[in-house]
Structures are given as structure tokens and as C-alpha cells.
Amino acid sequence: MISYKLAKQLKEAGFPQKKPLFYDYTRKEKYKNPTLSELIKECGERFEALIYQKGGWVAISNMDNYMMKQNFKCVPTPSDAVAKLWIKLNKK
């Protein structure tokens, strides 16, 4: 499960808000909390790898060059890594 902050970033970046949606009673907002499989599926063919290194996870697209791969920050969960990749790939 990803954090509310990351789920909100996904929503703002245009991630499909298909059901089930979660309701945050404190903020009175609905948002999608996608599974790892859903995140990878939405990245499509651009998703290349999910790597565990230096105590954290990094998701890489087949559009990244070597220098970009070296600058990725590790995150605590695989879902966080792929969510951040999806946001990066879908920046407008």
C-alpha cells in the first residue's frame, strides 16, 4: 500500500482512478491506492525493471539512459518505486 501523499500525486498526474477507491475521512478525498501489479500494468511496455539496491527499491523504464539510472533515489517499497516511475513517465 502506498502513502496518501503518493496516491494523491498519482491522481494529480492522471493515474486512472478506477474502483476500488479509498476514502480519506480526514481530508474528505477519494483516491486510488493501486497494487504493484496495477502500477506495472499502467506503465506498460515502458516498464523495464524493479531493482533492490542500497536498502531500497528503484523502478527503471526502458526510456532511461544509464546516467539517469545512477541518479534514482531508492524508496522503501516496490509499489512506491513503480508509482514514482509512473509519475515520471506521465509528467505533462
Cα dist from 6 to 18, 33, 85, whole Å:
16, 9, 11
CA dist., res. 15 & res. 55, Å (int): 27
In this prediction the pTM is: 0.84
**Alpha carbon distance 43, 60 (integer Å):** 10
Q: Taking the chain (92 residues) in consecutive chunks of 10 residues, what is each chunk's mean pLDDT?
A: 88 88 83 93 92 88 59 83 92 73
CA distances from 61 to 1, 19, 32, 71 (A): 21, 26, 22, 13
Domain boundaries along the sequence of the chain: 4-89
Is the distance from CB of 78 to CB of 38 less than 8 angstroms? no
